[in-house]
C-alpha cells in the first residue's frame, strides 16, 4: 500500500510540474498579447474572450460542479486579470 501511495504521489508531482510549465508558458503568451494590444491602443480587457475561456475550461465539468464553482472561478479570473493589466500598464 505505501509503495502504491508513493507512486501515486510521484505521479501527482509530475503532473503538477507539467501544469506549472504550461501555466508559465500561458502567462508569457498572455503578456505578449497584452503588450501588443497596448502598442496598438487596443483595449486590454475583452469580456467576451474571457467568457469564452471560462466556457472552454468548464465545458467538460458537470453542471452541479460548474454552478458551485463558477462564481469562485469568475472572481479569481477577475482578480488575476486586474493584477495582470496593472502589471502591463506599469
DSSP string, 49-85: HHHHHHHHHHTTS-HHHHHHHHHHHHHHHHHHHHHHH
What is the pLDDT, as a whole number, of residue 32? 94
Q: What is the pTM of this model?
A: 0.65
Q: Would you state the pLDDT for residue 80? A: 72
The tens place of each residue's pLDDT in the chain, 90 residues long, gives 889 999 999 999 999 999 999 989 998 999 899 999 999 999 988 889 988 887 887 777 666 565 555 566 666 666 777 777 777 766
pLDDT score, position 12: 93
Tell me the C-alpha distance between 76 and 69, whole Å: 11
Amino acid at each position: 500500500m505505501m509503495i502504491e501511495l508513493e507512486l501515486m504521489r510521484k505521479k501527482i508531482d509530475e503532473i503538477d510540474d507539467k501544469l506549472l510549465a504550461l501555466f508559465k508558458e500561458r502567462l508569457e503568451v498572455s503578456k505578449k498579447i497584452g503588450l501588443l494590444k497596448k502598442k496598438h491602443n487596443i483595449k486590454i480587457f475583452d469580456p467576451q474572450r474571457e467568457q469564452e475561456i471560462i466556457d472552454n475550461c468548464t465545458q467538460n465539468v458537470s453542471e452541479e460542479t460548474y454552478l458551485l464553482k463558477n462564481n469562485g472561478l469568475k472572481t479569481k479570473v477577475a482578480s488575476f486579470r486586474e493584477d495582470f493589466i496593472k502589471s502591463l500598464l506599469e
